[in-house]
Each structure stands twice: as C-alpha cells, then as structure tokens.
Structure 1
Amino acid sequence: MWSLPQAQRAIIFAGCLAAAYTQLTTSPATIEYARRLGANELHIGILGALPTLMLFCQFLAAIAVNHLQYRRRLWFWTAMAHRLMLLPVALGPWLFPETSGPTWIWLLLGLTAVNQALLHFSSPLWLSWMGDYLPHTGLSSYWGARQYWMQWTSAVSLFAAATVLYELRLDIRTAFTAFTLLATVLGAADLLLFVKVPEPPVTRVPQPRLRDVLSEPFRNREFKRFIKFTCFWHFAAMAGAPFISLYLLEEVGMTLYQVLLLWTFSWIGGAMFSHRLGRWSDRFGARPVLVLCVAFKSVNMIALLLIPPTPVLAFWALAPIFMLDQVLNAGILIANNGFMIKHSPSQNRTMYIAASTALAGIVGGVTSIAAGGLMTLLAGQRWELLGRSWGHFHVMFAGSIVLRWVAAGWVRKIREPNALPVKHVMGEILGGLPWRPLLFPIGLYRSVSETELTGKPATAQPPRPKLLDRGQDRKSSELTGHRQG
C-alpha cells in the first residue's frame, strides 16, 4: 500500500483521469451528436437532468455501506461498470447502421441514466472512504489542489477534442465514438490507481434502523438548513444551465469547435483560482466562500441574454464570463465539500452525503426535464421587447436569473461555527488585484491582517497549502467531521 503522501498524489492524478473521462463523455459533442440523431429540447432537458436526477442512488449506497466492513470492492466494480456503460451507444451506429435515429436517441438516454445511476451509487462509497482516510487538517486546501489539476485536465481535454474536430474535419458520429473509446480507457485507468490506496474500515451505525439512518441528517438543524439551500440552488441553476450549449449551437449559430473552445476557457478560469479557493475555505470557512460564489452566479445567465446573435462576437464576449463562472463553480464545489466533511459524523457519513446531494440532484433533475418540456411547448414563439426579439431560451434564462438571485439571499442563512464574515474573503480578493496601490492612499482598501481575523500575531498565518504530511498528528488526521462530494 502507498504511504499517505503517495496516496494523495495518486488521488489527484486519478481525479485528472476522471475529469478527462467526464469531459469527453458529457461535452457539447454529446449534445451535437444527439441533435444529429434528431433530439429536441425535451430530449436535451432529459439528458441534462440525468446527472442530477439519478443522485437518488446515493441513498441506496448510504444504506448499503452500513452493512459493509470495507467499501473498496463494491465501489470498484460499480464504478467500472459505469465507465463501460456508454460503449454500446458509441459503437452501435457503426455495427447496426440500419437502426433509426430515434432508437439511438432513447438508447443514449437510457444508457446515460444507467451510467449516472452507477456513478452516484459509487460516489458516496468513494467519498466516505476518502473522508475516513484523508486528514481533516488543511483538507479544503488539498481539495483545492485536486480541483486545480482536474480543471486544467478538463481544459486540455476539451481543447484537444476541439482541435481534433477542427483539424481532422471529423463528422460528429466518428468524433463521438473516438471520444467515448478514449474516455473509457482513461476512466478505467483512474479506478486502477485506487488499488493501492489504504482503506480504513467503515464506521457503521450500531444496530442501524433504516428509519433512523435515513432521518439522522434531517434532525441536525444546521445540516438540514444546508440541505434546504442545496435543493433550492439546484432548482435555480437547472432552470437554465442544461440548455447553454444547445442555445449556442442552435440559436447563436456557433460551431461545435467554438463551443468546445468556450468551455475550454471556462475550465482554465476554474483552474487559475482553485488553489486559492481551497485556501480561503480553510482559512475563513466554507460559508463565506459559498455565499460569495452564489452571489455572482447569475452573471453567466445575464450574459447569455445580452450577447449579440453573431457567433464570433458572442464567443469573445462570453469567453471571460465563462471563465468567471467556472471560478464560481469551483468555489461552490470546494466549499460544499469542506462544509460536508466538517459537519457530518464519521458514523453514517454516507447518508449525510446522500441527503445533501441526492435530494438536491432529484430537484435539479426534475427541474431540467420540466424546463425542457416547457421549452418544447414554447419552441418557435418569439416576443418583441426593448427592440429585441426574445425566444424560449431567453425565457428560461430569465427565470433562472431571478431564482439565482433568491438563492443568493437564501445561502446567507447557512450557519458554520467559527466561519468568518464574507468581507474577509473580499479583502483577500481586493488585496490580489492590481489596483491595490491606487486604493490604499485614499483609504478605500485596507488589508485584513491575521491579527484582525484571529487575534493572533501575523506570524501565525498558515503556510502555503501543500499536500498533507504523513508526519501530522494522527489523532488530528482521523476524520470526525463531515463531507460532501
């Protein structure tokens, strides 16, 4: 078995392989492939809903884990089946060319549903394993480092896919098949890296009763508040998010190459700030990072409403917005992970994970399907307002904007012991910007020192985050907190 530092490096590398798998199988190329098969807005809504709708499988994993001593074997084979599940729809049109397009659309939706079900069954097993193995000290910084490399891998994967499409002039069926085959190989390699990662035994609930196991996260007042917010947040986000790529391809008229490049810029933005977001979450708490990121999450929807219907102009207008949006996504993910790990008990941790992600995912999935159905009904209708013509995409984006504003107020209700106010994170952001020298003389900027934040001298500032040391006190290494995925 690997030592802790070796295992931590392997977990980061495995995360990069998993990121490549995810990008190659869920990129805009998949949406374009579905469009060429004849998919409409309802099909795209269902496709966008499945990653979150199938999160209910996390409850099944949470129940199963309380009857296991070790999770590795069940996780490995479930995750391997997940990695292989899309091969039939990638190879099928080549093997059975006489089969009609609608058949392949529904097969794509069905296999994607099974693929996501297996993913979400295996995810809490992996997360609780990591929660029991990785030390809590500096954990958000470690997740930030992992996110940093995963986001760069996502950017490189999408850029490589875009380049292949552009240079080789591949048709979408050939491209989708090639991307899926490569993704399957990378995804299987990701799983094999965990063979040598140590696994502590499961801390099971003594004599668990199903009702108690299911209800425990909802009896925790602060965690219940967090669950309510995540459910509403998924409702707000999924009213518009699943249709972004379809809108750019269908309404704005971008090529698939341009859309892939746009998402590449997005992942670069996330990669640039993941390290910093992890450090802020460790230093100031998960809550202020979460509050700040949610407050700005309507920006991308607003930009989509306002962009000109010219592909080139829209591309360059959206590139910086997509970069910012992925920074916010990374911050939300890191903050959620940190909050869940530190606020859930080692016993029944898997159920806490499921309660905070599965319920929210079900809400988001139902929202995406309902939004897709509504868009199908509104398709073809136009409204003239403020000198512009607005369509069904704009209706959903506008609705999502309003809901995201409500979520920005709701997130402030989350409570986290010892978390600092949002203004301290803002102080860090302003402190790193190039106009600091201009603001300082007139008193508009004042550095927030460590003495102000903690009452300790500035020399007590934590060192630059790095992979956790094997030599740390093992007692502080034991996970007694909480976690999300």
Structure 2
Amino acid sequence: MGVSSLAPRTVRGRQSWSARYFARRVVYPWELPSIMRKHIYTGAMGSTYYALINGIFFVYFGNSIGMSRFQWGVMGAIASFLLTAQLLSAVLTQRSGRRKVVWFASAIAARGLRILGILVSLWLWHTGWVQASVVLIAFICLSNFFGAMAEPPWLSWLADIIPERDHGRFWGRRSAWIALSSGSSTCSFTAPSRSRPWRCRVRAISSAISWPRSATAPSGRG
C-alpha cells in the first residue's frame, strides 16, 4: 500500500519539475536587471571554460596525441560546414515551439561530447592506439554540430526576453565581460615568468591540464 501510493507521487513530482523548468512564463520588468546580470555572468564563465578547453591548450593537446596539420585542417573545414546546422535548428525550434528544450539539449550534448572526446582520445593515446586523433576529430565535430544547434534558440530566446531598447547596452556589457574573462583566464595560465620561458610555461601548465605524458609522443602512440 505504501509503495503503490508513493510511486504516483514520484512520477507527478518529476513531471511537475520538468514542466516548471521548461514551461513558458511571463517575465516582469522588475526581473530584467537580474536576468541580464545572470546572462552576463554565465557568458563570462562560459568564455573561461572555452579558453581553457578550446584554446591554445586544446591545440597543444591535439598535437600531443598525434594530430597532423592535415587533420587540423580537416577538422576546421568540417567545423565551418557544420555551422549550417543552425538552419536545421531554426526550423526545429519553429516547428516544435520549444526553443528552451532545443537549446538545453543541444548545449548539454555539445559540452558533454567535447569532454568525452578529450577523455576517450587521451585514453586511446595512452593505450598506444595510433588513431586516437581520428576519434578526437569525430567527437569534436559532433560537439560543433550540437553547438551550432544551440545558437538560434538561445539568441531568439534572449531577443524576446530583453527589450529592444536595452539590446545594445546588454550585448556591449556582455561582450566586454567575456573578453575580460577570456583574456585574463588565458593570460593567467600563460604569463611569462623569470624562471621559465613563455613556451615552456605554456607547455608545463598544458600538461597539467590535459594530462599528456610528453610533448612528443613515442613511436606507435600517434
């Protein structure tokens, strides 16, 4: 009796949570300053994340597991082509009418696939598999696909929430904070020191973050 009575409550609780999270609601004028501040803060934190996982450290990591110049070029070309996924996202968002769900699922998939690709390719490189770089390219391209899918619903969402008269000020402040956080996070890990040259410091910190054992992989490890 107790189990049967608790099960429906659990189901209803889960449904009500998802309904509350993804449901549309009215945004009142007094909420706008807090909403804009949160989007600025999250943008700054996101830029720090991408600076550490997608900047010079990622380039060093890719070179360490054996990516060639040709493979870098192929991955860059595919990433540029995958921007066309924004068209698919716009159509999907318009037809489904649930842009928050489309954005949330795409953003989570993009970030998860990027982290998973780095970890899997690193593990394969450590086991001696010479095609670890190919696995990294596949995961990063999938991540870029879902990242492009996340852009249209998010921009459309903010365009409706933030009044038109505040767009310029909001995007200007957000861009300034993003540039500041991205630059400071990158420089803090690559700042020159008296004891080590700039390149050596970058390599030392990159090794601590991305875990490759050496800058030049032994033969047979890609």
Asked if these proteins are the same fold (TM beyond 0.5), I'd say yes
Q: Which moved more, 1:2-11 or 1:160-169?
A: 160-169
For 1:42, the equivalent position in structure 2 comes to: 70
* Per-residue deviation, 1:154: 0.4
Q: Residue 120 in 1 paired to residue 148 in 2? A: yes
CA distance in 2, matches of 1:47, 1:95: 20
For 1:99, the equivalent position in structure 2 comes to: 128
| CA deviations over 1:381-414 (Å, ceiling 9, x no partner) | xxxxxxxxxxxxxxxxxxxxxxxxxxxxxxxxxx
Q: Which amino acid counterpart does residue 46 of structure 1 have in structure 2?
A: V
* Per-residue deviation, 1:160: 2.8
* Per-residue deviation, 1:177: 5.2
CA distance in 1, matches of 2:206, 2:95: 48
Q: Residue 67 in 1 paired to residue 95 in 2? A: yes
User: Given the superposition, is the C-alpha separation of residues 6 and 74 from structure 1 closer, same or farther in structure 2, using an over 3 Å criterion?
Assistant: same
Q: Residue 166 in 1 paired to residue 201 in 2? A: yes
Q: Which amino acid counterpart does residue 71 of structure 1 have in structure 2?
A: R
Task: Report SS of the residue matched to 1:118.
Answer: helix
CA distance in 1, matches of 2:153, 2:211: 30
* Per-residue deviation, 1:21: 1.9
User: Given the superposition, is the C-alpha separation of residues 168 and 28 from structure 1 closer, same or farther in structure 2, using an over 3 Å criterion?
Assistant: closer
Task: Report SS of the residue matched to 1:38.
Answer: coil
Task: Report SS of the residue matched to 1:85.
Answer: helix
Aligned residues with identical type, % of pairs? 21
CA distance in 2, matches of 1:60, 1:170: 39
For 1:11, the equivalent position in structure 2 comes to: 39
Task: Report SS of the residue matched to 1:16.
Answer: helix
Please give the residue correspondences for 1:67-86 in structure 2 after superposition, counting only pairs within 5 Å.
67-86=95-114
CA distance in 1, matches of 2:62, 2:179: 25
Task: Report SS of the residue matched to 2:96.
Answer: coil
For 1:156, the equivalent position in structure 2 comes to: 184
User: Given the superposition, is the C-alpha separation of residues 56 and 171 from structure 1 closer, same or farther in structure 2, using an over 3 Å criterion?
Assistant: closer
List runs of 5+ in structure 1 lacking aligned partners. 179-485
Task: Report SS of the residue matched to 1:79.
Answer: helix
Taking only aligned residues, the RMSD between alpha carbons, in angstroms, comes to: 2.6
How many aligned positions are there?
176
User: Given the superposition, is the C-alpha separation of residues 55 and 167 from structure 1 closer, same or farther in structure 2, using an over 3 Å criterion?
Assistant: closer
Task: Report SS of the residue matched to 1:169.
Answer: helix
CA distance in 2, matches of 1:69, 1:90: 34
Q: Which amino acid counterpart does residue 15 of structure 1 have in structure 2?
A: G
Structure whose residues are more often helix by fraction: 2
For 1:136, the equivalent position in structure 2 comes to: 164
CA distance in 2, matches of 1:86, 1:94: 12
CA distance in 1, matches of 2:205, 2:52: 15
* Per-residue deviation, 1:75: 1.2
CA distance in 2, matches of 1:66, 1:81: 20
For 2:7, the equivalent position in structure 1 comes to: none
> Do the aligned residues in 1 keep the contact of 2:121 with 2:133 (CA within 8 Å)?
no
Task: Report SS of the residue matched to 1:20.
Answer: helix
For 1:215, the equivalent position in structure 2 comes to: none
| CA deviations over 1:349-394 (Å, ceiling 9, x no partner) | xxxxxxxxxxxxxxxxxxxxxxxxxxxxxxxxxxxxxxxxxxxxxx
* Per-residue deviation, 1:111: 0.8
Q: Residue 33 in 1 paired to residue 61 in 2? A: yes
Indicate the structure (1 or 2) with the bigger Cα radius of gyration: 1
After TM superposition, the score normalised by the length of structure 2 is 0.70
CA distance in 2, matches of 1:123, 1:177: 31
* Per-residue deviation, 1:48: 2.8
Flag the structure with more relative contact order, 1 or 2, with Cα contacts below 8 A and sequence separation at least 6: 2
* Per-residue deviation, 1:8: 0.4
> Do the aligned residues in 2 keep the contact of 1:58 with 1:124 (CA within 8 Å)?
yes
Please give the residue correspondences for 1:173-184 in structure 2 after superposition, counting only pairs within 5 Å.
174-176=208-210
User: Given the superposition, is the C-alpha separation of residues 92 and 66 from structure 1 closer, same or farther in structure 2, using an over 3 Å criterion?
Assistant: closer
CA distance in 1, matches of 2:60, 2:129: 17
* Per-residue deviation, 1:110: 0.7
* Per-residue deviation, 1:168: 9.2
Task: Report SS of the residue matched to 2:165.
Answer: coil
List runs of 5+ in structure 2 lacking aligned partners. 1-26, 193-199, 213-222
* Per-residue deviation, 1:63: 0.9
> Do the aligned residues in 2 keep the contact of 1:55 with 1:120 (CA within 8 Å)?
yes
| CA deviations over 1:22-74 (Å, ceiling 9, x no partner) | 21222122222222223222212123334422111111111111212331122
Q: Which amino acid counterpart does residue 166 of structure 1 have in structure 2?
A: R
CA distance in 1, matches of 2:108, 2:209: 23
Q: Residue 52 in 1 paired to residue 80 in 2? A: yes
Q: Which amino acid counterpart does residue 25 of structure 1 have in structure 2?
A: I
